[in-house]
Amino acid sequence: MKPNFDLTGRLALVTGSSRGLGWAMAQALAASGARLLLHGRDHAALAARAATLAERGTPAAEILYFDVADGPAVQDAFAEITEAHGRLDILVGNAGGIIRKPVLEFSDADWHQVLETDLSSCFRCAREALRLMIPQGHGRIILTSSIMGDRARPTIPAYVAAKAGLHGLVRALAVEVATAGVTVNAIAPGYFPTDATGPVQDDPVLNQWVIDATPMHRWGDPAELGGAVVFLASDAASFVTGSVLTVDGGASAAL
């Protein structure tokens, strides 16, 4: 019997995996034996990531380039996966973005951009993944949310709305495919150093607020998401679906 957390032989697509939290989660899956489909739009960065994994002796990673906000491009990418592999075991829907503006400066275009990248793209990728996972009788869908899915901060109205919607999407998909052997869950990170949180880190007042608001009194390390994603992707989480796993150093408990 394979250990519960062994992902050897499983094929995992991690969207937005060239940097930040996506790259951290991709590394954790690879270290547990999964074969990766890395994704993004930065060709040089993704090639470097694939080379790093090869140097570590993990299963060879492939690279997919497509815009998650482009419906036909998403369908084409999954058609490519189907043709090349005929299956997909794990989807980590991580690609996303954030726009920070006061609400009175927030345009319709800003609103739609964030909703497309942070919510609609997850629906599209999950739907296409399910076309493979339901017939094969197993699969793991893990969507990257945020503690802002249940809370809020000023100047990020679309981001908060998208992440709250993502929690609803996880529940809706989970109950619909529960008998198909597919689980659907989300990970809600707290404050981690990424490109998106750069403005917060660079502001001494906001940076200190994050540290003070987090009971562990520090920012998270992206590598600390590894255990959460491997758990949800593994056999150990076979009876876990429709859930949001919070990884935030206690911030949401204290806020």
**Within-domain flag for 6:** no
- Which residues fall within 8 angstroms of residue 90, CB to CB, at 6 or more apart? 7, 10, 11, 12, 13, 29, 34, 139, 140, 141, 142, 233
pLDDT of residue 255: 76
Q: How far is it, in rounded angstroms, from Cα 64 to Cα 87? A: 15
**Within-domain flag for 218:** yes
pLDDT of residue 225: 98
For residue 238, count other CB atoms closer than 10 A to its CB: 12
Q: How far is it, in rounded angstroms, from Cα 136 to Cα 71? A: 24
The tally of domains found in the chain comes to 1
**Within-domain flag for 3:** no
**Within-domain flag for 71:** yes
Range of the domain at 112: 11-247
**Within-domain flag for 30:** yes
Q: Which of 159, 192, 219, 231 is catalytic?
A: 159
**Within-domain flag for 25:** yes
**Within-domain flag for 4:** no
Residue 228, domain CATH: 3.40.50.720
Nearest alpha-carbon partner for 90 in 166, 143, 45, 50: 143
Q: What is the pLDDT along the chain (255 residues), one digit of tens a residue?
A: 456 999 999 999 999 999 999 999 999 999 999 999 999 989 999 999 999 999 999 988 999 999 999 999 999 999 999 999 999 999 999 999 999 999 999 999 999 999 999 999 999 999 999 999 999 999 999 999 999 999 999 999 999 999 999 999 999 999 999 999 999 999 999 999 998 899 999 999 999 999 999 999 999 999 999 999 999 999 999 999 999 999 999 999 997
For residue 195, count other CB atoms closer than 10 A to its CB: 10
Nearest alpha-carbon partner for 97 in 70, 115, 123, 109: 115
Asked about 159 being catalytic, the answer comes back as: yes
**Within-domain flag for 252:** no
